[in-house]
Amino acid sequence: MNYFLLLVCFSLVAAPLGARAQSPYLFRMTFRGDCFQTNGAGQFVDIPITQNDILLAAAQAGGTSDISSMALVYHIMGDTTHGDTIDIYSTTTGQKLTTVFGLFFGDAPSLNRTALTNNAATEIRRVDYVYTFNGTTYTYPGGHSMGASLTTKRFSSDARGLVRTTIEGQMEWVVNPINGAGPKVLRATFTTTKPFP
Amino acid sequence: MNMTKALALSIAGLLLSQLHLRAQSPYLYLITFQGVCYQKNSSGNLAPVPLTQQTFLQDVAQAGGVDPKTLVLVYHIQGSGLGDTIDVVNASTGSTLVNLFGLYFGDTLGRTAATNATATVVRRVDYIYTQQNYTYTSWNPDAMGAAFTTKRFQTDAQGNVRTTVDAQMHWIVNPQGNASTKICSGSFTTTKPFTPH
C-alpha cells in the first residue's frame, strides 16, 4: 500500500514535468491575405485568401479537392536544419502531408542576421526568409527565398508550468509564373490558435 | 535665319522638350514613413520605438553633425546599379549623404515582379539591404528584410509621368554598441518629386 501511494505521488509530480518537457510544437493556425495577379484583361485583381485556399491549392496539386480532413499547421522546427515550417497535416491520421512554407534564417549567424529576444525568453521577434517548395496556385518551387515574414513568438507559462505558445506573422511572397499563370505577389498574416491535433 | 527656318526650329525645340520631359521623368521622390522598431529596454523587455521619416533624418544628422532641417528622405529610382534606394539627401544641393536602404532583386534571382498589361502598376517583393551602421540600420552584405512594393505610373496629357511608390517593409538591425537587435517594420509612400531648393 505504501508502495502504491508512492507511485501515485510520483505520477502526480512527474505529469507536470512531462507536460513541461513535451510542450506542443504543432499548432493550428488562421491565415488571411491577398493575392495580387493580373486577370485576362491584363488588369490587377486582388483575390482574398484564407487557410482554406492554401489547403485547397495544395490538395489540387495532389489531385484532390477534398480538404475536409486537412489542417494548416505551424510546425516549430519543422525543418530540423533550417527552422520552422507551415505544413499541411491530416486531421484523420495526424501525419504530415506536405510543407507549404519554410520560415528560415531569422536568426542565422552565418548570414549575420539576429533575432530579438527578451530577457525572460518569453517573446521573440524575427524576420525570416520565406521559402516555398511546391508548385501550387499560391506557391512556387523556388530554390531562392520567395519573400519574408515578420514573425513574433510568445511563450507564457501557467501555474502548472504548461507553456502556452502563440505565433503570429506578417508575410509576403512571390509566386513565379507557372502552368500558364502569370506572376502573383501575395501578402498575408497568420496566427496560431491551439495545439494540433 | 528666315522665319520658316526659325519656326521649324521652334517647333522642333518644343517637340524635343516634350520628349525630354517624358524621358526625364523624376527619379527622386520625397517620402513619408510610419513604422516601429522593437528593441530590448533596460529591463530586458521588448519595447516599441515609433519611426517616421524624421527619425531617420535626425539619426543621420546627429551622426554627421548637421542640422536635420537641411536633410530630406527620398525614394531614389535606380539609386544604385542594383535597383531602387531610400536615401538621405541634402535638401539644398540634392547630394546624397547616405544610402539607408536598398530595395533590390524583386525581379531577378528567381523572383518575378507582377506588372499589369499597360505597365502602369508593378508589384514586387524586394529584398532589403542596409549598408550603413546607424541607429536603425546595420551593415550586412546579406539581405536584412523585405519590402512589398507597389509602383504606379500615370501619364498626364502632356506626357509627363507621375510616379507613386508605396511599400510595407520589415528589417533587422543587428546589435551595435550597447544596443540590442532591433526588429523594425513600417510603410512608406512617395509624395512629390524632390527638387533641391
pLDDT for A169-188, tens place per residue? 999 999 999 878 899 999 99
Nearest CA in chain B to A116: B181
Exposed, middle or buried by CB within 10 Å (0-12, 13-18, 19+), for B113? Answer: middle
Write down the mean pLDDT value for chain A.
89
3-class state of residue A19 by DSSP: helix
pLDDT tens string B65-110: 999 999 999 999 999 999 999 999 999 999 999 999 999 999 988 8
- CB contacts of B145 in chain A (<8 Å) are 127, 148
In the predicted model, what is the mean pLDDT of residues A185-193? 97
- CB contacts of B180 in chain A (<8 Å) are 116
Cβ(B98)–Cβ(A146) under 8 Å? no
Q: Cβ–Cβ of B125/A112 closer than 8 Å?
A: no
Question: What pLDDT is attached to residue A178?
Answer: 84
Confidence band for A9, pLDDT divided at 50, 70 and 90: very low
Cell numbers placing A13: 509530480
pLDDT above 70: percentage of residues in chain A? 88
CA of A152 to nearest chain B CA: how many angstroms apart?
Answer: 10
Which of B178, B190, B173, B77 lies closest to B132, judged by CA?
Answer: B173
pLDDT tens string A72-115: 999 999 999 999 999 999 999 999 999 999 999 999 999 999 99
Nearest CA in chain A to B46: A118
Q: Cβ–Cβ of B110/A123 closer than 8 Å?
A: no
Nearest CA in chain A to B174: A114
Higher pLDDT, A147 or A143: A147
Question: What pLDDT is attached to residue B88?
Answer: 97
Q: Cβ–Cβ of B181/A172 closer than 8 Å?
A: no
Question: What pLDDT is attached to residue A129?
Answer: 97
Cell numbers placing A196: 494540433
For B178, the enclosing helix (H) or strand (E) is none
Closest to B171 (Cβ–Cβ): which among A37, A127, A146?
A127
For chain B, which residues score pLDDT lower than 50? 1-24
pLDDT tens string A37-82: 999 999 999 999 999 999 999 999 999 999 999 999 999 999 999 9
Q: Cβ–Cβ of B111/A144 closer than 8 Å?
A: yes
Q: Cβ–Cβ of A173/B113 closer than 8 Å?
A: no
Question: What pLDDT is attached to residue B115?
Answer: 96
Evaluate the omega torsion of the peptide bond into residue B26 and state whether it is cis, within 30 degrees of 0. Answer: no
Residues of A with CB under 8 A from a CB of B: 36-38, 41-44, 111-116, 118-120, 123, 125-127, 129, 142-144, 146-148, 150, 170, 172-174, 176-177, 182-185, 187
Question: What pLDDT is attached to residue A2?
Answer: 43
Identify the weakest region by mean pLDDT among A140-144, A148-152, B37-41: A140-144
Distance CA B91, CA B94 (A): 6
Higher pLDDT, B122 or A17: B122
Which of B129, B146, B133, B151 lies closest to B185, judged by CA?
Answer: B146
Exposed, middle or buried by CB within 10 Å (0-12, 13-18, 19+), for A86? Answer: buried
Question: What pLDDT is attached to residue B128?
Answer: 97
Nearest CA in chain A to B146: A148
Cα–Cα distances in angstroms (integers) from residue A21 to residues A10, A16, A34, A152, B184, in the given order = 16, 9, 38, 22, 32
Which of B103, B181, B185, B79 lies closest to B135, judged by CA?
Answer: B181
For A196, the enclosing helix (H) or strand (E) is none
Q: Cβ–Cβ of A116/B112 closer than 8 Å?
A: no
Cβ(A76)–Cβ(A25) under 8 Å? yes
In angstroms, how far is CA A1 from the centroid of its own chain?
A: 48
